[in-house]
Amino acid sequence: MARWNPRIAFVDCFAGPGEYAGREFGSPILVLDIARKFVDRGLLSPTAFTLAAIEFKKRSFENLIDRYNSYLQIHPQMSGIDNYFRHGTYEEMIGHVQRHLNELGGGKVASFYFIDPFGVSQTPYSLLSNLLAPDKAEVLFNLMYEEVNRFMEAPEFEAPLDTMFGESHWRALRELSGAERKSQTVQYFKSRLINAGAKHIVVFEMRNDHNATDYFLFFATKSMRGLEVMKEAMWQVDPSGAFTFSDYTHSLGPMLITPQPNYAHLQDQLLHRFRGHRSVPMKEIRDFVLAETSFLRFRNEALKPMIARGDCYVERTSQHPSARLDADAEITFLSKPGTSITLF
């Protein structure tokens, strides 16, 4: 973020303590520690960085302030950062944070909001739309699927779920069960984030130590570059491209065989989208892969084998006389893949 923006902010809307009993940092201090590594490498100026945190529980808030101060004593190079910590609820305090950021950067601060609540009742949809309104705002939202799935059935949770989703259409999900309910809930929440102002969404599934879905992390952005960076991060956690992390498989230790991405699936998606299209610019293919699929890389991994198989070919023009698969190439996808074309 710092590479492209003069001022950046990380806003931890449900911050938790600075450090947990097991001596693990909470998310605000983890982020501060990551920011320090960029400061140490000269890639981020501490004065261009805001760390904002909201926490409702007094003890956790005090612990956060305490750990933050000790952190600055150990790493004085971070003392120039702009901190904005508020004790109170997200609902009460987020407006103050937004005003603070506006005063600092006139609405141009690139802001990353982390929304990591317990349960469903503290994150009204109207606030989400406010957060996602500016161009340079991104949200990482933890949807507690295990709870949402259970609460859907309980009459006392109808009102909180209406507030979280910003409407009552979620009730149709109650007609579904199992994997279908899960995938439709993900699709539904994606559509709510798009409706709130996001352009691109990428979802990461977190499974518990029984390998059952615990929660989903939804990343919402308006920026194609932001989408690409987040997908790169998610590919590092799950190199299969399925965007899942399981405490169960993690507890079994390192896997002997690293899971491989299924590029045949990407090839199917490319054919479905572009079959019969002539001279498709590489940028259009790249944007499709980034925004519409879970994949990131595609040139050597998917297109090259497709060319070898005769599904598509590089269009040669006077501007692009070579058959190389570079960024300027245009690709023609055959209507009947696998058949070679006859040139008259």
330 is an interface residue for ligand SAM by CB under 6 A: no
| Nearest to 120, CA basis, from 150, 77, 84, 86 | 150
Closer Cβ to ligand SAM, 17 or 105, answer by number: 17
- Nearest CA to 60 among 81, 86, 84? 86
Can you tell me the distance from the alpha carbon of 271 to that of 269, in angstroms, rounded to the nearest whole number? Answer: 5
Q: Is 164 in the site for ligand SAM (CB under 6 A)?
A: no
- What is the separation of C-alpha 101 from the centre of its chain, rounded to a whole number of angstroms? 22
User: Residue 278, exposed/middle/buried by CB under 10 A (0-12, 13-18, 19+)?
Assistant: exposed
**CA–CA gap between residue 74 and residue 22 (Å, rounded):** 20
The stretch near ligand SAM (CB under 6 A) out of 110-118, 183-191, 243-251, 273-281 is 110-118
Segment 84 to 103, residues that bind ligand SAM, using CB under 6 A: 89-90
Residue 163 binds to ligand SAM (criterion: CB under 6 A): no
Tokens (6 digits) for 169? 């259409």
Q: Which of 8, 9, 54, 109 is close enough to bind ligand SAM by CB under 6 A? A: 54
Using CA atoms, how far apart are residues 30 and 35, in angstroms rounded to an integer? 9
Which residue in the set 26, 105, 197, 261 belongs to the binding site for ligand SAM (CB under 6 A)? 26
Question: Closest distance between ligand SAM and the C-beta of residue 52, in Å?
Answer: 12
Q: Which stretch binds ligand SAM (CB under 6 A): 53-61, 98-106, 218-226, 283-291?
A: 53-61
Q: Which listed range, 55-63, 163-171, 179-187, 254-262, lies at the site for ligand SAM (CB under 6 A)?
A: 55-63
Instruction: Give the separation between CA 13 and CA 85, rounded to whole angstroms.
Output: 10
Of 39-47, 56-64, 100-108, 306-314, which segment contacts ligand SAM by CB under 6 A? Answer: 56-64
Residues that bind ligand SAM (CB under 6 A): 14, 16, 26-27, 54-57, 60, 89-90, 116-118, 122
